[in-house]
Amino acid sequence: MKTIIIGGVAGGASAAARLRRLDEKAEIVILEKGEFVSFANCGLPYYIGGEITDREELTLQTPESFKSRFDIDVRILNEAVRINPGEKTVTVKNLVDGECYTEEYDTLILSPGAEPIIPNIRGIETANVFTLRNIPDTMKIKSYIESEKPESAVVVGGGYIGVEMAENLAKAGLSVSIVELADHLIAPLDYDMAADVHRYIKEKGIKLYLNNGVTAIERDRIILQNGEIKADMVIMSVGVRPETAIARECGIETNSRGSIIVDAKMRTNIPDIYAVGDAVEAENFVTKAPSFIPLAGPANKQGRIVADNIAGFESEYTGTQGSAVLKLFDMTVATTGLNEKAAQLSETDYEKTYIYSSSHASYYPNGNMMSIKALWDKKSLKIIGAQIVGFDGVDKRMDVIAAAIRFGGKITDLTQLELCYAPPFSSAKDPVNMLGFVAENIVSGKIKQFFWNEVEALPRDNSVTLLDVRTVTEVECGKIDGFINIPLDALRSRIEEIPKDKPVYVHCHSGLRSYIACRILQGNGYDCYNLAGGWRLYESVINEKTVPEYICTECK
């Protein structure tokens, strides 16, 4: 049995190693048109920024190591140029000498990945314009920085790679700007969760040009739809698309984006041809709709599944939910499942909530706050998505929520999770538990919510009562127009000041004290609504200038 694998990164390399472990006698050939196989795409920005200092660390395997450990024939600089399904052959071009040859196969695995989108704008071919997909791209950028000594850079595109590149270019000593067509960075985030990211990244000296695009590139100047930026180099990071021309040309079915259509066993429409990784259309785990979610984790899992099926072990891919995490200087951003835009497009009837919790026990030194947002299906209560922005402990909380989604967990199930606790690591009621408690209160009707984007529409004509239960010192740091201030600890003694025949809309800093206020009011016959996420979220979204904690310690 002979298997040819086109593409030697992530999915392709994973399939090859797994197939060998399952079948010692199989003949396995990897065709890779680049110079490297099994390299760490996700580590490339950190080599440019100096976090990773040894280029060899980016290469997980080499042709020699594949041969010695797995007896796999890896041919770098060998490009598959044609697939001939009728003859079960692949035409290969040796990029060193230009010669072509034919290779037969019993099974074929396509793992060509995705290629950077290059927009059609004037000046895109300028020598100081780069993309980042592989190690040679990385070395070009690194070499340019070392030889030309650029002082400024523009990153076009504010996705995960774009933001990581901006951070690492800044660490390399450049003045950095990000240009993004959308109104916020990191598309899997909702705008309200991205607001904290915007404020933080600007504090780190990176300039943001949102709702803006590049119309032309000159040697030291970037022309925008609105304005221009001086820059010595440009990184294009506007997204990727499946690199699947060879598949389409031989009759393999693709969708309108160009992604290869596969079944749960990763089989294409042509017998004995499989496909994995960024080149394929994957089922969204939450919505069950066809999706394009290019991530390394799913690619590796798909490679393993293909190898299982080729070796005779039934295995199916159950979908991609989009779990991802981003390091941004000291900040961590993590997402899983659907955001609000995706939930609305899927026509899911969902509910949401926010919490603002410490990474560990408040009395233990050096705790950091994290903002958590969760979405769940109103009917089934199943969690459909979450976003976390913070510092320490973000990744482990998101991993718990991602696992809960994978196993069909309800938002209320989070209250029952028994998670590890010690003061340096968490609180007795972990933020994940707290998320469940807050949601449970909403589901059970103990509390009613309103949201930051509804605040401005609230009437200021005395038909409702708008109540701020923060301390006087906190209110001095900033307030929402029209809200009267009665601190929580004085609420019972001053409750007669609040008319009982009007709805009461309450907020505090994070939503916790205002929840307590609502329970007091509801216990006394009031109709009360709590501002989800509190003043902190509202102010962050509206103004992107929440008062720093070192200025206003009462606002914590």
Q: At a CB cut-off of 8 Å and minimum separation 6, what does 86 contact?
A: none
Cβ pair 426, 376 in contact under 8 A: no
- Residues with Cβ within 8 Å of 236's Cβ and at least 6 positions away in sequence, in order, are 116, 117, 118, 119, 124, 129, 130, 131, 156, 157
CA-CA distances (angstroms) from residue 321 to 46, 287, 351, 401, 431? 26, 9, 19, 12, 22
Q: Got the DSSP string for 129-158?
A: EEE-SSHHHHHHHHHHHHHH--SEEEEE--
3 state DSSP class of 186: coil
State residue 536 phi and psi, 5-degree precision.
-60, -50
If you search the block for the tokens 């009707």, which residue do you land on?
445
- Written as six digits, the tokens of 122 are 């004037």
- Residue 508 bears catalytic tag: no
Q: How many CB atoms lie within 10 A of CB 424?
A: 12
The C-alpha atoms of residue 4 and residue 529 are separated, in whole angstroms, by 61
Neighbours of 55 (CB within 10 A): 14
The residues pairing with 114 across neighbouring beta strands, listed in sequence order, are 242
Scored b (16 or more CB within 10 A) or e, 453-483 reads: eebeebeeeeebbbbbbbbeebbebbbbebb
Strands laid side by side in the 383-390 sheet: 324-328, 331-337, 383-390, 369-377, 350-358
Place of tokens 């993004």: 180
Backbone angles phi, psi at 313, to 5 degrees: -105, 115
Q: Strand 89-94 relative to strand 100-104: parallel, antiparallel, unpaired? A: antiparallel
- Alpha helix (H) ranges present in 151-215? 160-171, 191-203
Of 42, 420, 508, 518, which residue is the catalytic one? 42
Catalytically active residues are 42
